[in-house]
Amino acid sequence: MKKYIFTIIALLSIYIVSAQKTKADKFYQLGNYTRAIKAYSADTTKAYNQKMIAKSYHNLENYDMAIAHYKKAIVIDSTIQLQKFELAKIYFQVKQFETSANLYNKLIEQDSINPTFYFNLGLVYDHMGKKPLAYANYEKAYEVDSNYLKASYKLATAALLNHRYEHCKELIEKGLAINPNNLDFINLYAVYNYDLSHYEEAIKYFKILINNKQTSATIYRRLGICYYNSNMYIEASKAFEQQKIREPRNPEVYNYLGLCYNKIGDYEKALENLNKAVILKTLTFEEEYEALAFCYQQMKDYKQALKYYELTLKENPKKYILHYKIAITADKCYTDPKKVLPYYEKADHHFAGNNMFKRMITKRLKELNAEIVANTP
């Protein structure tokens, strides 16, 4: 009879514990973490309950308590890797990198063919500034599982940064073969082609990114440069206009827009954007000034063109071609040969030999001197 009673009590205990666990699991699954903690705490002798208490605290962003309960779970059962894995991730999250690295190394000792352990250890070393160790672990993750795209992406990025273009391309193409819609690899392929000036290919991949709602200022900037260098100035201006929306205080985008509109022949818009670039830029205005000068020249406003060519020369005195541009602009600006002559004399000083510019300057100097003599009473 006593044996029968003890059996009933034991079965009831198992039922109660099982019911309590089911209740706690339900609280956890529904995101009611505080009640889940209370329910799991009914029996803290089990590693599972300690682990779930830790996970609940983690979800509540109480990392100290999460760490404490993961440690308790490991004390109860040190053979279960999951607790150590979760603990390593939390240590990484709270920037305790050394402790996280130590745990990952122990996990690798127990399971040397788990690519995630190597990859996560690589991330830890990356944050510690130990780039060679990080790279070695990304390589190991990829070696263990060549389908592990996060690792191959890290390796491809490193290859691109170090100008190892063939290796980079190989990794990207393998990654896209596994998942053709992986936006990280599509972005990397776009940048790879951009860096190598393969503008047509780069445009194709940047457009895929934009069609997938990847619309950062950097993407539009690079797309604009690709179009500009492909002589597709209308498309370039559209891309730079999108960049301008996202970076309204970036002088470079206004400069590019000015250059585009100069090429298109919309000089009013070119002036508007180039002037904005000058206002925003704080270091050098050489490109903007020269583009403004060209724009005013096309509009036959030679006084303004002369002003901006002279400002360009101040920014870059070694750009001798500017002396010639200044001289021919002054020639159109002034009717008095005495005013024009000093510009050509100065230009003549900067050109030697028998090149085209020297010949044109010499010819014009003779003409101006003849005009001055002819006009002298």
Helix/strand/coil for 303: helix
Query: What pLDDT does residue 1 have?
Result: 52
Dist. CA 175–CA 33, nearest whole Å: 39
Sign of CA dihedral 362, 365, 371, 376: negative
Q: Say whether pLDDT at 7 is over 70.
A: no
Quick one: average pLDDT of 58-70? Answer: 93
Query: What pLDDT does residue 5 have?
Result: 54
Higher pLDDT, 24 or 221: 221
Query: What pLDDT does residue 225 have?
Result: 98
CA atoms within 13 A on the CB side of 373: 6
CATH of 215-317, one of 3.20.20.70, 1.25.40.10, 3.40.50.300, 3.90.110.10: 1.25.40.10
Q: Vertex 251, ends 246 and 255: CA angle to 5°?
A: 105
52-53-57-63 Cα dihedral, nearest 10 degrees: -90
194-206 pLDDT, tens digit per residue, is 999 999 999 999 9
Query: What pLDDT does residue 330 have?
Result: 95
**Which pTM was predicted?**
0.75
Tell me which H or E stretch contains 131: helix 131-144
Q: Are 80 and 103 in contact (CB under 8 A)?
A: no
Quick one: average pLDDT of 332-351? Answer: 91
Average pLDDT of the chain to the nearest whole number: 91
Query: What pLDDT does residue 372 have?
Result: 87
78-80-83-85 Cα dihedral, nearest 10 degrees: 110
Q: Say whether pLDDT at 143 is over 60.
A: yes
Q: Which tokens hold the place of 303? A: 């006084």
pLDDT band, very low/low/confident/very high, at 349 (cuts 50, 70, 90): confident
Q: Which tokens hold the place of 234? A: 């209308």
Query: What pLDDT does residue 354 have?
Result: 63
Q: Say whether pLDDT at 110 is over 60.
A: yes
Backbone phi, psi, residue 212, to 5°:
-100, 25
How many angstroms separate the Cα of 193 from the Cα of each of 123, 130, 144, 214, 265? 27, 29, 29, 18, 29
**DSSP states of 115-166 as a string?**
HHHHHHHHHHHHHTT-HHHHHHHHHHHHHH-TT-HHHHHHHHHHHHHTT-HH
% of the chain at pLDDT higher than 90: 79
Q: Say whether pLDDT at 71 is over 80.
A: yes
Q: Say whether pLDDT at 18 is over 80.
A: no
Query: What pLDDT does residue 79 have?
Result: 83
220-268 pLDDT, tens digit per residue, is 999 999 999 999 999 999 999 999 999 998 999 999 999 999 999 999 9
Dist. CA 292–CA 273, nearest whole Å: 10
Cα–chain-centroid distance for residue 138? 21
Tell me how long the chain is: 377
37-47 pLDDT, tens digit per residue, is 999 999 999 98
The domain segmentation of the chain, as residue ranges, is: 215-317, 320-377
Sign of CA dihedral 35, 41, 43, 47: positive
Q: Say whether pLDDT at 9 is over 90.
A: no
How many angstroms separate the Cα of 257 from the Cα of each of 270, 285, 289? 7, 15, 14
Q: Are 302 and 292 in contact (CB under 8 A)?
A: no
Query: What pLDDT does residue 10 have?
Result: 46
303-323 pLDDT, tens digit per residue, is 999 999 999 999 888 898 999
